[in-house]
Structure formats: C-alpha cells, structure tokens
Structure 1
Amino acid sequence: MHAKSSANQFEQALCELARMIGLHAERHDENGVGPDVLWLLPNKVGFVIEAKSRKKEQNALTKEEHGQLLVADEWFSEKYPDYTSVRISVHPQNRATKAAVAGASKALTYEKLSELIADARIVLTHLCESKLGKEDLILECDRLLGNSNIRFDKIAEAYLCSFEEAE
C-alpha cells in the first residue's frame, strides 16, 4: 500500500493484510452495495471497511462518504446476521464533518494502518526467519501473538480511532 496505489490495489492490499494476520477477508463492493473490504474475525465480529485511499490529508469524512459506510453496514447485517459489525473508514485523519454524524463509526487512519503493517511485519519476519519445526513454529507464533496488537481481539483497541468533528 502506497500513495500511488489505485483504489482497487489498495483494497486488495487490505484483504491480503488481513489474510497475513490470520483473518478471513473478502471484497464485496458491487455497484455501491456491500463494503469495499470485509474482515471477519473469529469472535463473530465483522470489520465493514470503506477505503478512502485517494483522499487528501486535510479533508474530513463527509456525510456522503459516511452514508456509503452505513449502506455497507446494512448489507453486512443482512448477509451476516450472526455477526456484530464495526464500521470502519480507512481515512487520512479521524476527522468528520458535523453533517457526517460519524460518532459510532471508527477510523483506521493512514498512520494507524502503517503501525498495523509494521507490527504484522515484525511477527511475520520473525516467523519466516526462524528455523523451527512445525510444532515449535506454532508455539512461537502463539507466543508472538500473545504480545502483539495484531491479535484479532486487540486490533480494534490498538488501531481504530473514534471520529472527531472537524472545525
């Protein structure tokens, strides 16, 4: 994921990141229905993600953009009735216009996304460079994840931010 990625490349990279850290990921946005990206966590939580990868740093989340996230969340509720959703906008900052009324949604800012990628890279690099057998590798993975924020039950708290009203 980098500044020159197309929206499609960025969304695909979000799917691949989720898979690398052990989550199930899907892409669903078809004609404006469904989220750009969906991360399904093992605890029956779905991260319903709208990615604003081409957004300028100074621009806040708008009412229309938040509306897209709300529509994606409605789709998710219909398709995955046994799951709880977390609405997420990948956004340069955790700022939203007053009209967006985004208080119940979360931002995955570019800064926090970079932290998530860096944390995943540390764990994956350590595992890839180890010369452990299968059983020991599983134990080492569990140990590393126990101390990491990339665990499914820590991601939201470690990397997601509440939206604040832009001035």
Structure 2
Amino acid sequence: MVKRVSLWNVGCPVARSLDAIGDWWSLLIIRNAFDGKRRFGEFQNGLGISKGVLSTRLRDLTKRGIFETVPASDGSAYREYVLTPKGRGLFPVIVALRQWGEDYLFTDGEARSSLVDRDKRAPVARLEVKSADGRSLVWSDTQLTGL
C-alpha cells in the first residue's frame, strides 16, 4: 500500500487544505453533511462507501476539527457527526466544485441535482472571485506573493 505523503509543511494554502481534507471521499462526506446527513449509516447508505473507509475518514475529519460528534438529536444512544465552523467554512468549496462540474461535466439536458436558495427556491448565484474593492477577478488578474 502506498503511504500518503503529508503536504502540511508546504507553504501553499491549497496544499495544506488538501492535506486537511484528505481525499474525494472526505469531500463527499462533507457534501452529504451539508445535505443534512448526520449519522454513520446515513453517510454509508448515501455514498455506498465501505464501513472501514468511512470510519477512517470520519475519525480523521473529526480529529482535524471539521466534524464534531454530538449526542443523537432523537435522544437515542447513537452519536451524530456535525460540521464545526471550520467544516462549515468548506461550503464555498463544495459550491465551487458543484458549479465547475455543472459547467464542464454534463451534456446539455442531462439530469443532475441543483442547488437552490431554500427560501426563494431560485438557483444559487455563481461564485465570483472579487478584489478588495469589489471588482470581479479572473485568474490572470491575480498573482502570488510571499514564498
């Protein structure tokens, strides 16, 4: 088995973020949490992931402060996984991946889920990168500084 290399000490925020999230299973678990899933069985059934892989990912995401476990909301003996503020901070990442996928990975008319405003039932606006003064920016309008 290939040993995972940590990117934590790299001076790039993208590399550190990927190190914290881990892999695509983790992002799908986080996506399902935003969709209201809270219990181990809900994650497993929704994703078709093995118990061992799910257990490892949830343990790691909890250790990294993305999830916390709380008593079950129905008063049963179960524990539930809820996103922490750090975990909820990943919402724009999930939306960005969704919107990129909508733009490039589906054919016209192909069925797919949609993200809508809960109150207005209207599609969520496109994410934009903006300057500090509010101008829309594209990649060529930016540069890295520092390291």
TM-score using structure 1 length: 0.26
TM-score using structure 2 length: 0.28
Structure with higher Rg: it is 2
> Looking at both structures, which has the greater relative contact order when contacts are Cα pairs under 8 Å and sequence separation is at least 6?
1
